[in-house]
Structure formats: C-alpha cells, structure tokens
Structure 1
Amino acid sequence: MVNAPLEDKQSTSIIFVLLISAAAALGGFLFGFDTAVINGAVVALGEHFNVGPVLVGMSVSLALMGSAVGALSSGFISDRYGRVKPMLLAAVMFTASGIGSGFPFTVWDFIFWRFVGGMGIGLASAITPAYIAEISPANLRGRFGSLQQLAIVTGIFIAMLSNYILVKIAGGSASMDLWLGAETWRWMFWAEVPPALLYGFAALMIPESPRYLIGTGREREAESVLSRVLGEHVLEKIEEIKLTLRVENGSSFADLKGRFGFTPIIWVGLGLSVLQQFVGINVIFYYGSMLWRSVGFSEENSLWITVITGVVNIVTTLVAIAFIDRVGRKPLLLLGSAGMLLTLGLLAFLFANAPLDAAGHPALSGSSATTALVAANLYVFCFGFSWGPVVWVLLGEMFNNRVRASALALGAGAQWVANFMVSASFPSLVEWAGLGKTYSIYAFFAAVSFLFVMFFVRETRGKELEEME
C-alpha cells in the first residue's frame, strides 16, 4: 500500500504522455491520408486531364518534393520556434491542400496544391518523432514513437476506405459525379479537411518539448511539463538536459559534417531513410489500385484490395508497438528485411511469368492471382512491423540533443527525395521494363537493407536521449 501513490503518479504520467503523443501523431495520420488519398484518384485524374504516365507520375510524386522541402526546413523552424508551432503550420498546409486539390483547373495547379500538402507532410514527418522522443520516458519511447507510424498507417487505411466508399456510392468509378455535381475524386481530397482542422486544434492543446524549453531558458515551463511526464527526479533530469545542451550548444546542418561528408551516425540515418523507400512500399499505397487493375481486377475490387492492405498495415504496426521495447529495434529490422526479400521476390516471379492480355499487361488469374494478393499483403506485413515504425523511432532517438532537429530534418528530407524517385519512376519503369523487373529492383534493395542493418545499425533500446553520441 505504501507504493500505491507512486504507482498512481507513474500511471498518470504514462497516460499524459500517451495523450499528448497521440495528439502530436495526428500529423502522422494526415501524412498517411494525404499520401494515400491519391491512390483512388490517380486513374480518374489521368483521364480528367488527359495526361500520360509521365504527368501521372509527377502529379503523384511532386507532392513528395514538397515533403522534402518541408522536412529539410523543419530543423531550422523547430529550433527557432519549437515543436508545436510548426505542427500548426502543417495543419494549415494540410487544410489548404485538401481544399485546393479538389478544385484544380489544370494538372499544374493540382500539382501545386499537392506540393503545398507535401510541405505539411514534411514538417509533420520530421517534427512529430522528435517531439514524441523528447517527451517520452526511455523505457516506453519505442512504443510511443511507434504511434507516429500507427497514425500514418491509420491515415492510409482511412484514405483507402473513404476512397472505396465514395466510389461505391458514386456507382463504381472515381470519374462519376457524386454530390453537388462534383466528381468523386474531388470529394476524396476534400475528405482531408476535417482531420486537418482537428490536428490544428490538438496542436494548440499540447505542451512544448521540455528540451526545447530548457534550450531557450524557460526552465519553469520545462519543469512543469517534466513533472507530468516523469512524475519524479525532475530537477535531476533538467540538469542532465542542460549539461548536454551546454556541451552541444547550437544546431545547424554544418554540425552534421564529418570526415566523409557527414559523421557516421548521420550516414546511418540517411541509409535507413533511403532504404525504407527503395524497398518500394509506397508503390503499393500510391499505385495499388492502378496495379491491381492492370493485372485484371475491376476498379471497385482494386480499391477493396487496397482497403485490406490498409488493415494489414495497421495490425502489423500494433505488433511493432508490442515488441519494439522488448526485442529491440535491430532484430525487427532484420526480420522485416528478410521477409520483404522473399515476398518481393515472389511477386517479381509471378508478374514476370504471367500471361499477357491484349494490351500487353500481365493478366493474373486463379492461383497466381491469389498468391500475388497474399504475397503483397505479407510484404506489407513485413514492412509494417519493421521498417515502417522502427525507422521513425530510430530517427527520433539515435541523434544527440545538439543535432537531433537538423539530423532528423536531413533524414526525413532524404526519405522524401527517395520516395519521390521511386514513385515518379514507377509508371514509366513498368511501361519500359514490366512489373516483374520492377519488383526485382525492390527485392534487391530489400537484400541491401538486411546487410545495412546487420553491419551499421546500433541498438538504442532503453537508452536515454542524453546518452546518444
């Protein structure tokens, strides 16, 4: 009974951190929703604007260049204005993008609004993991950090589900009129506006990062936040943070430089970011409906398949949350890489050996179609419990206090550039080389990711942020 008040205080602290982490992770929800909503609209957009695969690829992927811009600028913005104000800015960008993307006059102003939303994604993708890492106790940081990925995959799922429901209501096609005489694909983008407004409201309610507050001389505010986060040993924690900030004062991209361009830990972060995209995961989320239509499924069934994929992604992220602080980051990454290599290799084999239809596309049927569906969802499963959440957790925690904002900005920026390269190249690559060779490329990078983790990634489970080199 003597320990009951202490246990109650610790439980209250955990609930508090969970709530504010979940509020911050709403940026991840919008990140997932905004990037995946294009999935259901991409074919209709191509038809509406009468553009070929190159402009279709650009309409999907130039938003990712906006994400790179937002991510690369996040380090300066978060160091200057904190973690919360950039979240508000991201919410404004998401809202503007959702409205504008539904009102395009040409493919070019559509791309502009997608670029604006991309900048919001970039800001949220870099700042949210840093904020959650800085607000969380070390023994639970992996689980709370995984909320970012859970929010992302939930956003992806909700986007896919809403796309499917809207197409179902419209009568089977995103090109058909829905409400108020507007085509269904426009409503897909307008559906983003309510959660964007909710994200802005949530950002107004959460406290600033204690590490940012201490770094800007606002120790009283930091003490108030830390007392609710830790429950005890608050003054010792403040002194520990002050010591690291004093030793490592100042943060810019110049601080990331090392003997070979960057310091080794920065290269590891960049490698994780790039490989997370080069395994091709976002091809499934951006072009999934197009992919399944190209191998013989109807538009409605293709969208339903993407919904199932979204559910698989959520379930596997919950697996990661359950195990990331138990087994560690590195084992999950290795297991995920091995699984992705096998499933991507199987998909490459099936697509390469499928008979072709009159248009020259592989036409899967019977057991081959079933096997491809199972392999694709197992691939998402393997990514979902490993490279999806774990990379974001590592990027939020693997850098020291001085360089965290700048290093995370650089890593997130590299991730979005890599995402752009994969997404922009997919339609043209499929047209030039075929689905089989395209998926062989992604399988190759899955093998590279295994070797990269094996030899270069260090375990960070249970370490305080102040212990990072």
Structure 2
Amino acid sequence: MVQSAANKENTALIILISVVATIGGFLFGFDSGVINGTVDGLKQAFGSTEAQLGFEVASMLLGCAIGAFFAGRLADRWGRRSVLIISAVLFLLSALGAGAATNSLLFIVARLVGGFAVGAASVMSPAYIAEVAPARYRGRLATVQQIAIISGLFAAFLSNYLLAKAAGTSTEPLWAGQAAWRWMFWMQVTPSALFLVLLLAIPESPRFLVVKRRKDEALAVLTRLFGAEQASATLVEIDASLSQDHHRPQLSDLINKTTRKIRPVVWVGIGLAVFQQLVGINVVFYYGAVLWQAVGFSESDALLINVLSGALSIGACIVTVLLVDRIGRKPLLWVGSVGMSVALALVVYAFASGSMVEGHLQLPGHMGTLALVAANAYVVFFNVSWGPVMWVMLGEMFPNQIRGSALAVAGAAQWTANFIVTVTFPMLLAGIGLASTYSIYLVSAVISVFFVIKFVRETKGRSLEQMEG
C-alpha cells in the first residue's frame, strides 16, 4: 500500500516546489556573503570607525531577526507562499539600495530591508518544503535549502573576487564609473527577480490551507502532490492533528495551558537556533576577507580563500543530503559539534602562537597553514551538521498548530544571536585578539555537544502530524 501511494506521488512537482523555495535560500546566502568583499569599500566611502563598520555589516541581521519573527506570524495569516513573495520583492529593493547608497544611514536602511527578506526566507523556505514533502525524503529536500544558502554564499564570494580582480581592488571603479564593491550588491538583482516570477507558479502550503479551513483548496493541492487516494488520507491526518485545538494560531499557543510554561519543544528550537550562531560560523562568512588579511594574506588571496570555503561547504551539504534521512538529524548534530570543537581548538592554538607586527598578526612557521586548514575543516563540519540540520529541524519539529509561532520565536533568536556575534567581532578582534575571540566560539561548540545529547529528539521518518509539543 505504501508503494502504491508512493507511485502516485507527483515527485517532479514536489521537487520543483522545493527548488523554487530554495531560491530564497540562495538569496539568503548571497545577501549574507556579499558583505564579505565590501568592507574596504564601506570604510572608504563612509569613513566608518570599527564600531560603525561592525554595525554596517551586522545591520542586516537586525532586519533578519525582525523579518524571521514577523514572517512566522504573517505566514499564519497570509500563507507561506505569500510571505516568500514579499521577501522576493524586498531582496530586489535591498540589492538596488545597498549598491546605490551614498551614506552610511542609507546603506543601513537598505541592508535592514534585505534583512527582513533574509529573515523571512530563512524560516519560511524550510517550513514550506517540510509542509509539502513526504516524511521519507523530507530531510533531503530541506537540506537542499542549506546547499542553496551555501551556493548563494559561494556565488557572492566568487562574484566579489571576480569583480575586485576586474577593477584592481574592491574600491576601484568598474562599470559606469561605479566602484566594484557597489556592483557586488547589484549582482543580486537577477536572482531576486527570478525568485519573484517563479513563486507565482507554485501552490500554497496545504497544511496552511487546512489551518485556515480552506479544505477544498488543500485537497486540490494534496491531490496534485500525492494523488487522490493519498490526498484524502493526508487531509484527514492534518485535520485530526488540529481537531483538539483548532483556532487561529497565536503566540500564546507556545505556552502549555496546563503547566503555564513555555513548551519544552520551543526551548529546544531556540537552543538549536542560538547555538548555530554562538559557534561563530558567520565570522568566517562575513569577515573572511578581514580574517585572512589579518594573518598576512593579500586581499585577492583572502577573497580566493572565501571561494574555497564556499566550495567545501557545498560539498559538505551534499554529504548531508545523502545521510540526513538515513542516520537521522541528531547524530549529525553531535558529530558536527565534536568536529567543530576540535577544529576550533586547532584554530585557537595557531592564532595564539602569533605576534603583532605593525598592527597585523604574524603566524610563525606553518601556523598560517594550520589555521587555514583547521578553519576550513571547521566550515566543513558545520555544513555537514548544524548548517543544514538546524533549519531542517526547525521546519519539521513543531506541531502544526504552533509551527508559525514557534518559527517566529526561534528564527528571531537565531538572527539575534547572529547579530550579537557579528557586531562584536571587530571589537573583540581589536580588543582581545583572534585567539581569545575564537576561544569563545570554542566553548560554545563544546557546550553544544551536551545540549544535543540531552535535549534534542530525533525527527527522522516522522510525519508532521506526529510531532509533539
């Protein structure tokens, strides 16, 4: 019977919907990574201090926290696809505005708008995929979201490298007399427009339609996805999961009505979201060029190292696609935490061996190579585990009734932690140095091992209607 149902699935449509949704992930990655090659341009154009620079780089992340929070709430009201359409428009406006900004304030506003889009896409794309994909390969499709994110980062790094090389440096004029760093932002216009157009061709999430009591529409979508027989059975399952507490989703649903406490699954979701950032991964993504220049590499070499890191990340995510529905989410998380801890310890050791020469950290002997290899190993471990698996779990671990609200809170927590890590890095780098700064991320990675083992529950192979709050 299972095989018969599977044979009636419109796998091509399910994959198409997932691919379109993951363009949001690509733009998420591009918008996050493009800032990496523009730091020197921002300094020159706006005369920013270290603290101002940190805020310019991290300003998008404040928008992400707001966007993630309201996306979850608005998605419960307007629909998953509708929120993604809004995010596509915001991606487009942000790309145009950031590249054209004539002062720091206008730049920050443009990046905040981009942040709203990134935050919305970060929580809605995996949730949307989870709500249309069958349980047996839901993890693989949701993991494609992380491949898209890393592909976006890789595309941004490669674009930054090529544009800076074509101009000479990122601050030199390129086309139409505009500096290369401005064109780095404008490169995002094309994929943003493509995302907007393709979203108009895919259906709304059937689970959202059931929540809104639009059952005929939900049945029509489920029939397109799974065939008539399976569609009817799935509709009954979804409706049954909501029947005991079927009302308009709201934030108060996150509180257990018996104990009057926040549901444990929400705390676990927040923990997953926050630890993904406290290990410091986005310091590598956002400040990679600054980091490698700080240990003696040229701007060109530093941008090329970013391209290498992006390529390794894509490879790591492909490994996750092959494993996530076989061995599960939890084993990948704790293995990733252990691997990141070891890699970060080696990075700290390498950086601690250096000395300051004319304001730059000089590493003795082969320590520069050790730092480079260990940092890239750290990136690989992150992207085979916490990078994709955290988003997979947030998209699927919450019961239907609270999914939008729980995603709002966990997504906002994730981006707030991201903001704190990102905005403090330039100050920590100047104040306590690279070794001590990375020691903080090392401690977080070690703690995350125990968090996963004690609190995270496996979701592999379970339908969304089986998730417990």
| 2:96 is aligned with 1:103 | no
Contact 2:131 2:205 in 1 (8 A): yes
Q: CA deviation at 1:6?
A: 7.0
Name the CA distance, whole Å, in 1 between partners of 2:40 and 2:407: 34
Answer yes or no: is 1:410 the counterpart of 2:406.
no
Deviation at 1:366, TM superposition (A): 4.5
Separation in 1 of the partners of 2:384 and 2:41? Answer: 32
Task: Give the structure 2 partner of residue 183 of structure 1.
Answer: 179
Q: Secondary structure at the match of 1:224?
A: helix
**Cα deviation digits, residues 342-363 of structure 1 (max 9, x gap):** 001111111111132111x321
Q: What does residue 335 of structure 1 align with? A: 335
Q: What's the counterpart of residue 284 of structure 1? A: 284
Contact map agreement 2:353 2:363 (CA 8 A) in 1: no
Deviates more, 1:368-377 or 1:425-434: 368-377
Shift of 1:368: 1.3
**Match runs of 1:268-307 below 5 Å:** 268-307=268-307
Partner of 1:216: 212
Rounded to whole Å, the distance in 2 between the matches of 1:246 and 1:224 is 20
Deviation at 1:419, TM superposition (A): 0.1
Summarize the alignment of residues 387-426 of structure 1 with structure 2, pairs less than 5 Å apart. 387-426=386-425
Opposite residue 404 of structure 1, the aligned amino acid is R
How far does residue 367 in structure 1 lie from its aligned partner after superposition?
1.6
Q: Aligned residues, how many?
A: 464
- The yes-or-no answer on 1:165 pairing with 2:135 is no
Q: How many angstroms apart in 1 are the aligned matches of 2:222 and 2:302?
A: 48
Residues 336 and 387, structure 1, Cα contact 8 Å, conserved in 2: yes
Residue 230 to residue 105, structure 1, CA distance change in 2 (3 Å): same
Helix, strand or coil: the match of 1:162? helix
CA distance, structure 1, for counterparts of residue 173 and residue 437 of structure 2: 35
Q: In structure 2, how many angstroms separate the alpha carbons of the residues matched to 1:89 and 1:375? A: 39
Deviations 1:234-255 (A, max 9, x none): 1111111111122232311111
C-alpha distance in structure 2 between counterparts of 1:215 and 1:265, whole Å: 20
- Structure 1 counterpart of 2:101, one-letter code: P
* Secondary structure of the corresponding residue to residue 102 of structure 2: coil
Determine whether 1:81 maps to 2:113: no
SS at structure 2 position matched to 1:458: coil
For residues 6 and 280 of structure 2, what CA distance do their matches in structure 1 show?
Answer: 45
SS of equivalent to 2:346: helix
Q: 1:326 to 1:406 in 2, by over 3 A?
A: same
**For residues 334 and 6 of structure 1, do their structure 2 counterparts lie closer, same or farther at Cα, with a shift above 3 Å needed?**
closer
The two structures, once aligned, show a CA RMSD in angstroms of: 1.6
In 1, Cα distance between the equivalents of 2:260 and 2:362?
48
Write the distance in 2 (CA, Å) between the matches of 1:47 and 1:155.
Answer: 26
Q: What per-residue deviation string (whole Å, max 9, x for no partner) do you get for residues 301-333 of structure 1?
A: 100000000001111011111100000000000
What are structure 1's unaligned runs of at least 5 residues?
Answer: none
Identity %: 46
SS of corresponding position for 2:70 = helix
**Amino acid across the alignment from 2:384:** F
- Residues 6, 226 of structure 2: 8 Å contact kept: no
Partner of 2:253: 255
Other-structure match for 1:142: 139
Q: Report the equivalent of 1:373.
A: 372
| Contact 2:54–2:423 under 8 Å retained in 1 | yes
TM-score, normalised relative to structure 2? 0.96
Partner of 1:443: 442
- Quick one: distance in 1 between partners of 2:17 and 2:240? 26
- Identify the residue that residue 25 of structure 2 maps to in structure 1: 28
Specify every segment of 5 or more residues in structure 2 that has no aligned partner in the other structure, as ranges.
none
Matches within 5 A, 1:4-15: 9-10=8-9, 13-15=10-12
Q: CA deviation at 1:18?
A: 1.0
Equivalent position amino acid for 1:215 in 2: V
The SS at the match of 2:356 is coil
How far does residue 274 in structure 1 lie from its aligned partner after superposition?
0.2
Amino acid at match of 1:271: G
The 1-side partners of 2:6 and 2:260 are apart by: 49
